[in-house]
Amino acid sequence: QVQLQESGPGLVKPSETLSLTCVVSGFSIRSGYYWGWARQPPGKGLEWIGSIYQSGSTYYNPTLKSRIIMSVDTSKNHFSLRLNSVTAADTAVYYCARRAVVGAHINTWGQGTLVTVSS
Amino acid sequence: NFMLTQPHSVSESPGKTVTISCNRSSGYIARNYVQWYQQRPGSPPTTVIYEDTQRPSGVSDRFSGSIDRSSNSASLTISGLKTEDEADYYCQSDDDNSHVVFGGGTKLTVL
């Protein structure tokens, strides 16, 4: 059974870089899905951040594209997110997820990790 | 890119039927599949409908999805409402460049 687990700092200072990693277990990251990140500010809706394929091809949310770098490490079966120049508006629960290549169904989610941007 | 617009909230009584709409602002609703997710407080979303009308294993057949080309909308219908259905519901689709789009979410109250 595939499981996703986010890890990373829960507190980031303004203007610094938010870094998160998602470890995939029970499934090979090479097996033909997109791997991605979503976030949800407290009390608000879901926002998709971006996706990465096993080859390293990326598909970033246009509104965040200038601040995002996503990467994948197939040897460690994990993928990562870096979001730079953060502000309080980036405070959110960050989820990693697996989505289908055809149809975009997000069929597996991590439990989520709260990242707070504050000095 | 396009937007998916949902009502902010809906409410209905137990045992009744409720429908949540999801309107696509531009481009044809049928061009890309629509998914529906249920989210309870403190938990990640879970799928109730994928690929417009498909129900994952384990999801009650009280949940159904449809597409209306005339209004360029997708809909989630929940029949025989139960108090456990109270949650936030999100529609989701993607565009031709593989960018994922979520609706703003609908809070369902079962009272």
**Looking at the predicted structure, is the pLDDT value of residue A54 above 90?**
no
The reply to whether residue B44 touches residue A106, judged by beta carbons under 8 angstroms, is no
Q: Give the model's confidence band at A32: pLDDT under 50 very low, under 70 low, under 90 confident, else very high.
A: confident
Gap from B24 CA to chain A (nearest CA, Å) = 16
Is B31 in CB contact (< 8 Å) with chain A?
no
The whole-number average pLDDT for the span A9-16 is 97
* Stretch A53-81: mean pLDDT: 94
Percent of chain A predicted with pLDDT > 90: 92
Among the listed residues A25, A20, A18, A8, the one whose alpha carbon sits nearest the alpha carbon of residue A98: A25
For tokens 């508006």, name the residue: A89
Q: Identify all chain B residues contacting A36, using CB atoms and an 8 Å cutoff.
A: 100
Cβ contact B50–A103 (<8 Å): yes
Instruction: Report the 3 state secondary structure along A39-101.
Output: EECCCCCCEEEEEECCCCCEEECCCCHHHEEEEEECCCCEEEEEECCCCHHHCEEEEEEEECC
CB atoms B90 and A59 under 8 Å: no
Residue B96's pLDDT is 83
Instruction: Name the residue facing B45 among A36, A61, A109 (closest C-beta).
Output: A109
Q: How far is A92 from chain B (nearest CA, A)?
A: 12
pLDDT digits (tens, 9 = 90+) for B21-75: 999 999 999 999 999 999 999 999 999 999 999 999 999 999 999 999 999 999 9
Identify the closest residue of chain A to B93 by CA–CA distance: A104
Q: Summarize the confidence of residues A14-18 as an average pLDDT.
A: 98
Q: Which residues of B touch A109 (CB under 8 A)?
A: 44-46
Amino acid at the residue A53:
Y
Instruction: Please report the pLDDT score of residue A103 as a whole number.
Output: 84
| Residues of chain A positioned with their CB less than 8 A from the CB of B100 | 36, 38, 48, 51, 99, 104, 106
**Cross-chain CB nearest to A110 (options B44, B97, B104):** B44
Question: Residue B16: is its pLDDT beyond 90?
Answer: yes
Q: What is the pLDDT of residues B91-108, one digit of tens each?
A: 999 988 888 999 999 999
Task: Assess whether pLDDT exceeds 90 at residue A94.
Answer: yes
Instruction: Kindly state the average pLDDT of the residues A51-71.
Output: 94
CA proximity to A83, closest of A36, A17, A8, A11: A17
